[in-house]
Amino acid sequence: MRLRRAALDTLIGVLIAAGSLISLVLFLTTSYFIILCLIGIGFLALPYLTAAVRRVCDLNRRAAARCGVPVERPYRPEPEEVERDIVGWTRRCKWILADPATWRDLLWLLLNSAVGLLLGFAPAALLYYAGEGLVLACGLWQPLAADGVGRWYAFITVDSGSDALAAALAALLVFTGWFLLSPWLLKGHAYFVRFLLGPTERARLASRVRHLSETRSGALDIQAAELRRIERDLHDGAQARLVGLGLELGAVDRKLDQDTEEARRLLRQARESSVQALRELRDLVRGIHPPVLAERGLADAVRALGLASPLPVTVVADLPGDPPDPVASAVYFSVSELLTNALKHAEARHVDVVLGYADGVLHGRVTDDGRGGAAISAGSGLEGIRRRLASFDGVLEIDSPPGGPTVMRMELPCALSSPRTSSC
């Protein structure tokens, strides 16, 4: 298994070495057109070249992540709603040139033409040299010795059987070096990639500020929408019931001395209205913070959602404690919305819900066997879920190919408190 890994590392190293030549070509071409931007001509090709440069950089980031060195993309967000004319094209070019990551990419392209070639080609060179020594030791030295000359290998002149044995031992040492050093050579290149292609502390801080601004805006929008919903439900539901109850009690007061039977009927009607108003108020409170969530915790609340759903729902929850109430509420309503989507839009026949916690992150996964094709779009329920989770630095990932299945993954960093007592 480790030998296969070393062979795969060697192949990746060869690709990195080949990519170093592409890096040099891209560096020279992009630099040339950046210089031409001074007279305006370079703006025509700059966005295309930048896309190619960032694609090459992304491939190297992916290779670094495979070596256990994750590298984040440091680029600033693209400008929104750029016009498809010369003004929009110029604005995009200015955005490219104003991004510090663009210049770090160029520096990496220049240095990678040497570093990538050296570190990437080294595993293949070691493997080739080890194979050369073994082939030489296995008999190639004999025709050379017959001609009166020997063959140098690792400071050994191979012109006899004992020299061939020494060359074989040297080749085995080189092979061992290839086997042990190949992963470390690629990891060294991965750290080089992270040093130049990863975000700086300043860029990471700016990204964090942008993220907080977006999530704060999203949280305010969600809060405003929730307040509007509560106001609408109160106005159309409980408030209307209470107004009607007041009118019915006034009618009872007028009929009490004149028509006792009619007064009793109105009282019964008023009692039914009060019961309905109380039920609507309870539903409203349940929509703000479900009692089962407050009383039993997130795991049992999600199990209750599964039991209440018309779809067959399997819930597996392994939580060693309870998350903070705002986080629990966000996960609860997100799962509720996803179950509703599976019923209304996905035409699913079964849903699996899994909740877990590891390394300070609450994980959730909702899988349905519906028709798939789900995607986050502005104004959709999934966009609302994404914004709800983003308020707590959470993320929503969607894997929904056409034909299904659809897998929704949620991750929210949080700390858990002691678990509630549960009878389930």
Confidence (pLDDT) at 346: 77
> What local confidence, expressed as pLDDT, does residue 100 receive?
86
- pLDDT of residue 77 exceeding 50, the answer is yes
* Per-residue pLDDT at 152: 64
Does residue 134 share a domain with residue 45?
yes
The pLDDT of residue 210: 64
More confident residue, 397 or 233: 397
Name the average pLDDT for the chain: 77
- Quick one: 226 and 320 in the same domain? no
Is 419 domain-assigned?
no
Give the per-residue SS3 of the chain.
Answer: CHHHHHHHHHHHHHHHHHHHHHHHHHHHHHHHHHHHHHHCHHHHCHHHHHHHHHHHHHHHHHHHHHCCCCCCCCCCCCCCCCCCCHHHHHHHHHHHHHCHHHHHHHHHHHHHHHHHHHHHHHHHHHHHHHHHHHHHHHHHHHHHHHCCCCEEECCEEECCHHHHHHHHHHHHHHHHHHHHHHHHHHHHHHHHHHHHHCCCHHHHHHHHHHHHHHHHHHHHHHHHHHHHHHHHHHHHHHHHHHHHHHHHHHHHHHHCCCCHHHHHHHHHHHHHHHHHHHHHHHHHHHHHCCHHHHHHCHHHHHHHHHHHCCCCEEEEEECCCECCHHHHHHHHHHHHHHHHHHHHCCCCCCEEEEEEEECCEEEEEEEECCCCCCCCCCCCHHHHHHHHHHCCCCEEEEECCCCCCEEEEEEEECCCECCCCCCC
Domain count within the chain: 3
Of 288, 307, 323, the residue that ends a domain is: 288
In this structure, is residue 422 part of a structural domain? no
Residues 117 and 187 in one domain: yes
Averaged pLDDT, 129-143: 68
In a domain, 176, yes or no: yes
Q: Using 50, 70 and 90 to split pLDDT, how confident is the model at 256? A: low
In a domain, 192, yes or no: yes
In this predicted structure, the answer to whether residue 133 has a pLDDT above a threshold of 80 is no
The residue with greater pLDDT, 161 or 170, is 170
Integer Cα distance of 117 and 168 in angstroms? 28
Q: Is the pLDDT of residue 206 over 70?
A: no
The CA distance from 299 to 34, in Å, is: 57
Higher pLDDT, 231 or 409: 409
| pLDDT band at residue 148 under the 50/70/90 scheme | very low
* pLDDT computed for residue 230 by the predictor: 62
Q: pLDDT confidence of 243, banded at 50, 70, 90?
A: low
- Decide which of 242, 261, 288 is a domain's last residue: 288
* 25 and 128 assigned to the same domain: yes
pLDDT for res 220: 57
Is pLDDT of 424 > 50?
no
- CA dist 371 → 193, 343, 353 (Å): 40, 11, 18
Lowest mean pLDDT among 7-11, 81-85, 163-167: 81-85
**Measured distance CA(418)–CA(273) in Å, rounded:** 42
In a domain, 204, yes or no: no
Q: How far apart are CA 371 and CA 342, in angstroms?
A: 9
Query: Is there a domain that residue 421 lies in?
Result: no
Mean pLDDT, range 176-189, rounded to an integer: 85
Interacting residues of 275 by C-beta distance below 8 A, sequence separation 6+: none
The rounded distance, in Å, linking the Cα atoms of 271 and 177 is: 88
Query: Radius of gyration (Cα) for the chain, nearest Å?
Result: 34
User: Residue 205 falls within a domain, yes or no?
Assistant: no
Residue 281: which pLDDT band, with cuts at 50, 70 and 90? low
Judgement on whether residues 188 and 218 belong to the same structural domain of the protein = no
Do 279 and 357 belong to one domain? no
Give Cβ neighbours of residue 78 (< 8 Å, ≥ 6 apart). 92, 95
Q: What is the mean pLDDT of residues 293-301?
A: 80
Pick from 227, 236, 345: nearest CA to 280: 236
Q: Phi-psi bin for 405: left (phi > 0), alpha (psi -120 to 50), beta? A: beta
Whether the Cβ atoms of residue 197 and residue 24 lie closer than 8 Å to each other: no
Asked if 227 and 335 sit in the same domain, the reply is no
Tokens of 96: 């490219």
Does 15 lie in the same domain as 126? yes
Whether 87 and 185 map to the same domain: the answer is yes
Residue 164 — pLDDT band, cuts 50, 70, 90? low
* pLDDT (0 to 100) of residue 145: 47
Confidence of residue 349 (pLDDT cuts 50, 70, 90): confident
Domain around 252: 210-288
Residue 123 pLDDT > 70, yes or no?
yes
For residue 56, being part of any structural domain is answered with yes
Domain end point (choices 170, 197, 224): 197
pTM over 0.75: no
Q: What is the C-alpha separation between 354 and 297, in angstroms, rounded?
A: 15
On whether both 318 and 278 belong to a single domain, the answer is no
Tokens of 89: 């094209």
On whether both 176 and 226 belong to a single domain, the answer is no
Distances 367 to 122, 374, 388, 390 between C-alpha atoms, Å: 45, 12, 20, 21
Are residue 299 and residue 270 in the same domain, yes or no? no
CA distance 119 to 125: 10
Contact 373, 402 (CB under 8 A): yes
37 pLDDT band, cuts 50/70/90, is: confident
Instruction: Give the lowest-confidence range in 41-55, 106-120, 213-227, 244-258.
Output: 213-227
Q: For the domain that residue 401 is a member of, what is the CATH number?
A: 3.30.565.10
